Amino acid sequence: MVEREKLYIFMGVRRPMLDIPPKVVAITRPFAVFPTYLSIAFEGSYGKTFGLEKSENLSNWESSGFNDATMSITNSASFSFYMDESKRKMFYRVVER
């Protein structure tokens, strides 16, 4: 079993800065039997598109490889994914595309 560090979710936007950045509202493990499965729920502005990025060092960010989410009429969306068990630390952020 891989020992885990604390999980940090970083909210951020790309330049130019937006008037309303995405807001992370919940970070959950939807299934207790899958401890490496994570769901990040967030809110944004209707019609805007957001993506999930990951980093091992908070300096170099890359796409997490998941499809972007476009805000629907509810102004909320979520990303659900398996964390990489081979990584000791991994940081995630929701960004506008």
Residues 6+ apart with CB under 8 A from 69: 49, 50, 51, 77, 78, 79
Is 34 inside a domain boundary? yes
Give the separation between CA 63 and CA 74, rounded to whole angstroms. 25
Residue 16 has pLDDT above 50, yes or no: no
Is 39 inside a domain boundary? yes
Is 23 inside a domain boundary? yes
Is 1 inside a domain boundary? no
Number of domains in the chain: 1
Residue 15 has pLDDT above 50, yes or no: no
Is 95 inside a domain boundary? no
Is 35 inside a domain boundary? yes
Is 73 inside a domain boundary? yes
Is 93 inside a domain boundary? no
Q: What is the per-residue pLDDT for 88?
A: 77
Domain of 42 in residue numbering reads as: 8-83
Contact, 95 vs 53, CB < 8 A?
yes
Q: State pLDDT tens for residues 19-73.
A: 556 788 888 887 777 777 888 888 888 888 888 898 888 899 998 888 888 888 8
The residue with greater pLDDT, 16 or 27, is 27
Q: What is the per-residue pLDDT for 46?
A: 82
Cis geometry, peptide bond prior to residue 22 (ω within 30 degrees of 0): no
